[in-house]
A = this chain, B = another copy of it.
Amino acid sequence: MPLRPEERDAIAAQRTLQATTRRTTVEQLEEVLYEAFPVLDHGFVRVVDYMGSDTAIVQAARVSYGAGTKQSRQDAGLIRYLLRHSHTTPFEMCEIKFHIKLPIFVARQWIRHRTANVNEYSARYSILDNEFYVPAAEHLAAQSTSNRQGRGETLKGQEAKRVLELLRGDAIQAYNHYQEMLNEDINGETLASNRQGLARELARMNLSLNFYTQWYWKVDLHNLLNFLWLRSDDHAQYEIRAYANVMLETLKRWVPLTYEAFADYRIGGANISAKGLEAIRRRLQGENITRRDVGMSQSEWNELNALVGNDHSD
């Protein structure tokens, strides 16, 4: 478990908080509020605040529809409708705040999602902890030979052993030298009285991209769905997917109706091109078509077949 005793105590203290509010609350999410869900070897995901619920989405949409819609559609149906038709603004009415601990190379991918609010722990002002990511044996993958963007088989034997030694050894050395250059230990105690210590904003550059950082990350539900859709996908790097998967569990607690619609339309759904739709239409009418009949490339054709089942014609 990634927490130090004082951190565990701080979280336990937060979890005893209890106040009365007139705001919408979601019991399922309150249950795990502030709790640290472990991710990778030293990371975590914590929900530290939230605003809104499935009901808030419906309520916001009903301003859009106003007195005009008299039939009381079920909330689930309306939420499905909104998601299906890309009516995204009602989902923006919900907001959630996470506290995340994650390797820097994951943070670098994550931050590309610009429509969120971020406060990151600053190694310019503070000393980073001696914590770095080393992949578990089963995630130590070779470069894919077919796909420049992916992983292949798991490394085995000597090669795996050597890679882990290098990653660990270099990180340990980088941190030792970081402290030596700072001339401070983690508590800010001076190490050698005859040295000044390099500025923190400079010393940090010696740390490698697998060191952990942490931040508060706040986002509205629409943009969270977008993040989770992209980052829980098979094409996403495993290390960020691990975070997305844990966050999907908190999504389920927070807005269960939205979660279900999202699972159906986005996670499990797919965008089919005009050519793809034509291919499906013609196959459903019994035509025996090849990819050339609809002008698709081989990789598009393969992607389509992976979605709707193999044909036997190509």
How far does the Cβ of A195 sit from chain B's closest Cβ, in whole Å?
5
B-facing mask of A177-199, CB < 8 A → 1, else 0?
10011100010100000011111
Is A70 part of the binding interface, using a Cβ–Cβ cutoff of 8 Å? yes
How far does the Cβ of A94 sit from chain B's closest Cβ, in whole Å?
9
In the complex, residue of chain B having the shortest beta-carbon distance to the beta carbon of A307: B277
Which residues of the other chain, B, contact A120 by a CB distance below 8 angstroms?
A: 63-64
Whether A117 touches B143, Cβ cut-off 8 Å, given contacts A51-B49, A181-B166, is: no
Among the listed B21, B143, B163, B207, which residue makes an inter-chain contact with A200, where contact means beta carbons less than 8 Å apart? Answer: B143
- How often does this chain occur in the complex, in copies? 4
CB–CB B92/A151 < 8 A: no
Distance, CA A188 to CA B84, complexed state (A):
28
B-facing mask of A283-312, CB < 8 A → 1, else 0?
111000000000001001001000111010
CB–CB B49/A23 < 8 A: yes
* Contact-size category for A: 35 or more
Is A28 part of the binding interface, using a Cβ–Cβ cutoff of 8 Å? no
Which residues of the other chain, B, contact A205 by a CB distance below 8 angstroms?
A: 103, 105, 133, 167, 208-210
In residues 78-124 of chain A, which contact B (Cβ within 8 Å)? Answer: 80, 84-86, 89-90, 92-93, 95, 97, 99, 103-105, 108, 111-112, 114-115, 117-122, 124
CB–CB B66/A121 < 8 A: yes
The stretch from A242-250, A251-259, A265-273 touching chain B is A265-273
Distance, CA A208 to CA B175, complexed state (A):
11
Using CB atoms and an 8 Å cutoff, list the residues of chain A in contact with chain B. 14-15, 17-25, 30, 33-34, 49-52, 56, 60-61, 63-70, 77, 80, 84-86, 89-90, 92-93, 95, 97, 99, 103-105, 108, 111-112, 114-115, 117-122, 124-127, 133, 135, 140-144, 148-153, 155, 159, 162-163, 166-167, 170-171, 173-174, 177, 180-182, 186, 188, 195-202, 204-210, 214-216, 218, 220, 230, 235, 237, 263-265, 267-277, 280-281, 283-285, 297, 300, 303, 307-309, 311
* 7 closest residue pairs by CB, A with B: A268-B274, A68-B126, A66-B126, A142-B196, A92-B117, A205-B210, A114-B114
9 of the cross-chain contacts (CB-CB < 8 Å) are A20-B25, A52-B97, A68-B188, A86-B230, A93-B218, A111-B111, A111-B112, A125-B149, A205-B209
